[in-house]
Structure formats: structure tokens, C-alpha cells
Amino acid sequence: MANFKEIVTKAVIGKAKKTTTSNFSLTPNEKPDTVLGCWVINHSFRGRNNQGAVEINGEFDVNVWYSYENDTKTTVSTSRFQYTDRMNIRLKDDNHLTDSSEIIVRSLKQPTVTNVSISNGVVKLEVEKELGVEVVGDTKLKVPVEDDEDDYEEIIDEDEISVSDETEISNVETEYLD
């Protein structure tokens, strides 16, 4: 009969991903005529436990390249935006999210401007991103343990060769060995 031991270890006890689309607006110094390009840089984020759910606080810079004065001049306007996303993650094995749980957040799809428009001198942006979260916490594993039998293999020294073994050795034809 096999015995079992419980091992307490850290493991991923919950995992989820979420795609979000958020709207932001940027008011440049000049009145833009046409948006020529738009990109997101310097994305940073951090996850934490907030009443049993993962709250992700992040920020990024958006650079908007636009033309103005009847499309005769161009410039780039930069603005920093902040966001907060909340994720309810189902945890395995009836675990609960605690302050001692480690929360790992990854950007699965970097923030990207998916739609941009100009309205009354204000640039309206639609930004899409995908974040993945892993929750690491304590969990138990049950492993089978062998019985306390003597499982060492016995090694016979050459000095302890029995007489019958010596007879077998002397019966070997030496012409086959050459």
C-alpha cells in the first residue's frame, strides 16, 4: 500500500486575459487638420489585490503626428494617459486571492491606436490592449511515497565469487577470447 505525503509549494492558481478598448482625447497646441500617424510608447503597469479581484494600474504615452495650418506644417504632440482595469480571476482548488498572493501581469498585445478622429480641434483616440494575469499562491500536492523497504541493490565484491562461479570461468574456451 502506497503512503502519500502533502507538499506545500507555490504554483499558478489562477490565470486570465482581458482585451480592453478605451477612449482618450488629446488637445494639441495647434488646431489639427489631418492626423498623419499615431503610436503608443512607454507602456508600464502593475497589478495588485483589491478586495478579491486583480486591479491593474497602468500608463502609456501617445504620440500623435498631425498637420495644421491647411496641411502646410506638421508636428508631434505627446500626452501621457493612465488607466485602471479590474479582472475577476477564477482561482483553482478553492484558493482565495490574498495580499500574500503574487500577481504577475503581462502585456499580451501592446496598446495600439485602432481609431483616431478630429473634432473641434481635439484628437479622439481609441486604444486597444490585451493584458494577461497569473496569480501565484500556495497550494498542496499529494505524492505517493514508497514503503520503507530496503531498496538498496547488493553489490558482490570479486573476492566473494563462489566456487561454482570459478568453475564457470575456468570452462571458458580461451580461443574465443583472442
The pLDDT tens digits for 105-150 are 999 999 999 999 999 999 999 999 999 999 998 888 889 887 666 6
Q: How far apart are CA 41 and CA 127, in angstroms?
A: 12
What is the SS3 assignment for 175?
A: helix
Longest dimension (CA), the chain: 110
φ, ψ for residue 117, nearest 5 deg: -150, 165
Q: What is the DSSP string of 111-167?
A: EEEEEEEEETTEEEEEEEEEEEEEEEEEEEEEEEE--S---PPP---GGG--HHHHH
So what's the pLDDT on residue 159? 63
So what's the pLDDT on residue 140? 86
Instruction: Find the angle CA(16)-CA(85)-CA(80) to the nearest 5 degrees.
Output: 130
Q: Which of the residue ranges 2-16, 60-74, 135-149 would you say has the lowest mean pLDDT? A: 135-149
So what's the pLDDT on residue 94? 77
In the chain, the percentage of residues whose pLDDT exceeds 70 is 83
The pLDDT tens digits for 80-115 are 999 999 999 888 877 788 888 899 999 999 999 999
Average pLDDT taken over every residue of the chain: 88
So what's the pLDDT on residue 167? 64
Tell if the pTM clears 0.75, that is, is over it.
no
- Give the single-character DSSP code of 176: G
So what's the pLDDT on residue 54? 94
Q: How far apart are CA 12 and CA 46, in angstroms?
A: 18
